[in-house]
Structure formats: structure tokens, C-alpha cells
Amino acid sequence: MSDRICDACGKPQAFIHYGGAMLCRTCDVDVKQAVAQARESGARNVSALAEARKIFRSQFSGGDIIVKDVPADLKAAAQGVAESAGLSLREFILSAMADKTKAR
Ligand SMILES: [Zn+2]
């Protein structure tokens, strides 16, 4: 299983790189369709990542969590582990949440 999270649905099964977005097979089709529609409607500089995030926000987002006053050493350690795994800090935190809850 990939640790890369689909930018359009949030599932940890994203293997497809498309225009800066990481997508699962299901969402790859939806995002390419959204990009094509945006271009057909005359939009310039259409971003696959932005289109994927629109889909995510409209269908899958559980909202935002802002964590204040994170210990510096813990943040640095988490960023180091995330970078060595090729993940963003967001992806790393979501992966850790999934591991602790077995939500995925
Ligand atoms: Zn997806």
C-alpha cells in the first residue's frame, strides 16, 4: 500500500502523478475530466492539484485541524521522517492518524 494520499479522495492509494497531484485510479479519471471541463470553459492555467482539492473539499473533507504550540523537537523529528519517506508533513500526519485509529 502506498503512503501517498490521493489529493481528490484522501485514500492512501495514490500511485498516479498528474499535473502536480497524486491520484488513485478512481480519481484520476474524475480529475482529468474536471481539468478538461475547466479548459473547455476557457479557464487558463488550470491546475490538476487545484481541481483535485476541489473534489476533496466538496466530497471528502472532514474540515481543518490547527494544532498550536507543537514542540519544536517533535515537529523537526516528524518533518525529518516525512521527508525521508518522500511525504509532505500533511501526508505524514494523516498517515499517523490513520495508523493510530485504523481508520483506513
Ligand atoms: Zn482518490
pLDDT digits (tens, 9 = 90+) for 52-62: 999 999 999 99
The pLDDT score that the predictor gives to residue 2 is 56
99 SS3 class: helix
What distance in angstroms lies between residue 5's CA and the mean position of ligand 1's atoms?
Answer: 8
What distance in angstroms lies between residue 69's CA and the mean position of ligand 1's atoms?
Answer: 32
What distance in angstroms lies between residue 14's CA and the mean position of ligand 1's atoms?
Answer: 7
Count CB-CB contacts under 10 A for residue 9: 19
What distance in angstroms lies between residue 60's CA and the mean position of ligand 1's atoms?
Answer: 10
Under 8 Å between Cβ of 52 and 61: no
CATH of span 1-61: 3.30.50
pLDDT digits (tens, 9 = 90+) for 38-88: 999 999 899 999 999 999 999 999 999 999 999 999 999 999 999 999 888
Domain assignments of the chain as residue spans, ordered by start: 1-61, 65-104
